[in-house]
Structures are given as structure tokens and as C-alpha cells.
Amino acid sequence: MSDGAQFRQVSPPVRLYQRIVEQIEEAIARGDLKPGQRLPSERELVAQFGASRPTVREALRVLESNGLVRSRQGDPNGPEILPFSSAGLTKEMTRLVQFDNVSMAELISFRMILDGSASLLAARLRSEEELSAMERTLAVMADAIEAGYEEFSKADVAFHEVVAQASRNSLIEVCNLVVRGAVLSLISDKLAHAPNSTALMRESLHHHREVLEAIRAQDGPAAARISRRDLYDYYAGYVPENEQGPLLALVDDEET
């Protein structure tokens, strides 16, 4: 455990385990606790927080559920601080769409914004190695069309990951991964069993090739425009027509 992470005792009336969770989250956010370091043992945490053992255990359970720490049964050391994972953000984004009035149109239009920005930056900042990586993922995508949607989707994700990496913006990388995961968690089954699934994959591959050529030519606006159009063509059919305004607003007038 880092010497910089010191905890204070908690007190009523709010649920005590939530206060413990907040303190540990704050210590991680400040950098007092870093991935690979350990929290104090359960007994030491009980003493530091002035809370009961069940309360501390509930706090640790929440932290583990949120992907912040990992406990191993029988391990005499305290829970280990885990590196950041986008899995928790993906789950929360999916919950927002399912339960908290965030529409599919908003989610897809946000992905169009992220993907367009990533493509624009990649066109200006990409390396030759990243161009080669994009080419390889497109070759895999082409081969995967006959194998079906699942394999095609994996190659598609790989392409977008390379483009996001070439943007030199880690927030775009993370947000793109989260939003893409949330969209696919909601409609991947529909995409996989769409009657025109093969045609959609071929059209998507065509757009991806156009994005790559724009990135190769360092034409950022074109790369962004084509990227947004690709997502619109691929996903608009899963958004009610009367909710497609945010998507249409991101597609150039001459292409709608």
C-alpha cells in the first residue's frame, strides 16, 4: 500500500460502506493508490475506518464489482488495486440506454462524433506502421464476411481500435470502445440475423477502405465524413425514423 493513502473514520447516517467506497475511489483518483498496490488487510481497514467487519466487506464487494480491486480467497494480503478497465464503463453506458432515457439515436450519434474525430486526427497523425495495421485488419474483415457477422465484427473492432490509437488521444480510445460496446450489446443479435447482413458487411468494408485511403492521403475531413456515413448506413435502420435527426445532422447534406 502507498504511504500517501490514509483513510479517516466514517460515521452515520448515510450507509457506511458507501463512504468507505468513496474514500478508496478518491485515493485511486488522486494516485495515492496505484494499480498493483494493495489495500490494508480487512482487519486493518476495520480499524482505520472505525466500521464493522460486515460493512468493510460490503465496501470491498462493491469495489470489486466495479472492477477497482481484486481479492483472492486465502490471500493474507489486502485486495489488489486493478488497472483501469473499460468494462465497467461499457456496462454503465448500456444501463443508461436501457433504463435512463438515453436513446439509441443519441448513443449512435455520439459514436459518429467519436469515430469521425478519431479518423480526422488519425489522418493527420498516423504512422506508417499504423497504416499497415489498418490494412491488415481490412484484409481480415474481407475474409470474415463469408464466416459471418461475429468474425466480421471482431475485425471491425480491430480496425477502429487502430484508428483510435492513431488519434493520439486516449480518451477517444476509451470512449469509442465503451460506446461501441454499448451499441453492440443492444443490437448485435439483430445485426447478426439481419436478412441483408452480408450486404451490410460488404458495404461497411467498402466504407472502411475509403476511410483508410483518406487517412493514407492525410485528408482528415474526408476520413471523418466517410466514417460518419459508414456508421449511419450501418445503424440508422435500427433507430426509429422520427428519432434519426441527430444522426442526419452529422451526415453531410449532399450525401443524405
Instruction: Specify whether 107 is located in the same domain as 32.
Output: no
Q: What is the pLDDT of residue 35?
A: 93
Of 15 and 110, which is predicted with more confidence? 110
What band does 205 get if pLDDT is binned at 50, 70 and 90?
very high
Q: What is the pLDDT of residue 208?
A: 96
3 within domain boundaries: no
Which residues touch 204 (CB under 8 Å, ≥6 apart)? 156, 230, 233, 234
pLDDT tens column, 221-239: 999 999 999 999 989 989 9
Of 10 and 194, which is predicted with more confidence? 194
Instruction: Specify whether 75 is located in the same domain as 122.
Output: no
Domain boundary among 57, 81, 105: 81
2 within domain boundaries: no
Of 66 and 143, which is predicted with more confidence? 143
Reply yes or no on whether the pLDDT at 152 is more than 70.
yes
Reply yes or no on whether the pLDDT at 254 is more than 60.
no
**Residue 214 lies in domain:** 87-255
Reply yes or no on whether the pLDDT at 253 is more than 60.
no
Instruction: Specify whether 30 is located in the same domain as 136.
Output: no
CA pair distance 72, 79, nearest whole angstrom: 7
For the segment 22-27, the average pLDDT, to the nearest whole number, is: 94
Q: CATH no. for residue 238?
A: 1.20.120.530
**Total residues belonging to the chain:** 256
Of 123 and 9, which is predicted with more confidence? 123
Instruction: Specify whether 242 is located in the same domain as 164.
Output: yes
For 91-110, give the DSSP string.
HHHHHHHHHSS--HHHHHHH
- Is residue 215 within 8 A of residue 119, CB to CB? The reply is yes
202 within domain boundaries: yes
Instruction: Specify whether 20 is located in the same domain as 103.
Output: no
For the segment 172-201, the average pLDDT, to the nearest whole number, is: 86
Instruction: Specify whether 138 is located in the same domain as 204.
Output: yes
Q: What is the pLDDT of residue 225?
A: 95
Q: What is the pLDDT of residue 130?
A: 97
Work out the mean pLDDT of the chain and round it to a whole number. 88
Reply yes or no on whether the pLDDT at 171 is more than 60.
yes
Q: CATH no. for residue 45?
A: 1.10.10.10
Q: What is the pLDDT of residue 100?
A: 66
